[in-house]
Amino acid sequence: MNSGLKIVAEWAEASGTSLYTLVAGRIARHKAPSSFENTQACVVIHGQAMGSEIKAPVQNDRYVFKCYGGTHSPEDAEAVFEAVFDRFHDVRGDTTAGGIVRSTFETGSATDEPAEGGVMWPVYIATFEILTT
């Protein structure tokens, strides 16, 4: 079975994209690094509803992308969200870890996430259903 999260993260980290321009490879899996202070744009990806297609070498999973703008401005977090949307919505492609067969945007939302010291960080959240091989 493939590692869908590895494929999705590698697709997100590819240089030469608007997403790379904003986050410069700061893509975290599962949770932000313990040193993260929202001073640089970052995307945190984690999977939900992990599953595989019976009798097929593919995995159909839901991925949540938490988009931080690196500032306290909601507009900066939204710009990262838009770059994630552009990179993942309705795409197909290959990485060294495997391929993306289908990627479909499901939901998007904006919220504030509490941080140390009572600070609130704006975060945009995107959810995609992604079929990987």
What does the pLDDT look like over 3-48, one tens digit per residue? Answer: 899 999 999 999 999 999 999 989 999 999 888 999 999 999 999 8
Domain 4-132 sits in which CATH superfamily?
Phage tail protein-like (3.30.2000.10)
Cα angle 66, 90, 48; round to 5: 40
What is the Cα–Cα distance from 91 to 98, expressed in whole angstroms? 14
Sketch the domain layout of the chain as residue ranges. Answer: 4-132
Could you tell me the pTM of the whole model?
Answer: 0.92
